[in-house]
Amino acid sequence: MKFDVSKLRWTREPKSYSIAADKIEIVTHPHTDLWQRTYYHFRNDNAPVLQMETEEKFFSFTVKTQFQSERRFDQCGIVMYLDSENWLKASVEYENEHFQHLGSVVTNNGYSDWATTEIDAGIKAMWYRFSRREDDYCVECSADGVVFKQMRVCHIWGGGEMIRFGIYACSPEDSSFRATFTDMELSECKWQAHDGQPPDAE
């Protein structure tokens, strides 16, 4: 399946960006973020999000991200943003000159969680694969675009019918950086059906 950039639509258009068939660039604006309530007790809902709509129940979306982040919490990655209180994102968030957080956030009914692992601060590229099986989702990451490792499996409230998915970039603190997205691909679902314990009887 071809990834058609003409189908992408902005939720909060950034001031500086470029879109081509094979590359998208976003220059982030300071004090932009996506987060809801949990732990920090604040709500941020102003990050630029570029997405397309689909009713397709089984597919995978893959993208390579490259980033020049150098300020705490600078981030870019994949997103499925349904509304301000129901969404998911996966990214590398810069922390300091020693390490970054590779992680994902799932937000259901206005509360966010954050699952992370530390990676070296020198890493400036990451691949992501976002897969849908009906109303369940899998997010994977890869250093080379070949071998993907699972980051999380989740359910999104309201994610069973029409959804929107794509990319985002933001700078929660007083900073700005260039995020580049390439190798965008839509494909058959690469998240295989579960072949272990059968589901509970209805």
pLDDT in tens, 178-190: 999 999 999 999 9
pLDDT at 196 over 80: no
Tens of pLDDT, residue by residue over 11-60, are 999 999 999 999 999 999 999 999 999 877 778 999 999 999 999 999 99
Distance from first CA to last CA of the chain, Å, rounded? Answer: 34
46 φ/ψ angles, rounded to the nearest 5 degrees: -135, 15
The number of CA neighbours under 13 Å toward the Cβ of 71 is 15
- Count of C-beta atoms within a 10 Å radius of residue 41: 6
Report yes or no: 73 and 176 within 8 Å, Cβ to Cβ: no
Radius of gyration of the chain (CA): 16
| pLDDT band per the 50, 70, 90 thresholds, residue 199 | confident
Q: Report the distance separating Cα 170 and Cα 28, nearest Å.
A: 5
Tens of pLDDT, residue by residue over 121-174, are 999 999 999 999 999 999 999 999 999 999 999 999 899 999 999 999 999 999
DSSP character for 143? S
Neighbouring residues of 110: CB distance < 8 A, sequence distance ≥ 6: 36, 37, 84, 85
Report yes or no: 106 and 34 within 8 Å, Cβ to Cβ: no
Neighbouring residues of 27: CB distance < 8 A, sequence distance ≥ 6: 14, 15, 16, 17, 176, 177, 178, 179
User: In Å, how far are 29, 31, 187 from 183, measured between CA atoms?
Assistant: 24, 28, 12
Helix (H, G, I), strand (E, B) or coil at 154: strand
> What's the pTM?
0.94
Q: Domains of the chain by range and CATH?
A: 5-187 (2.60.120.200)
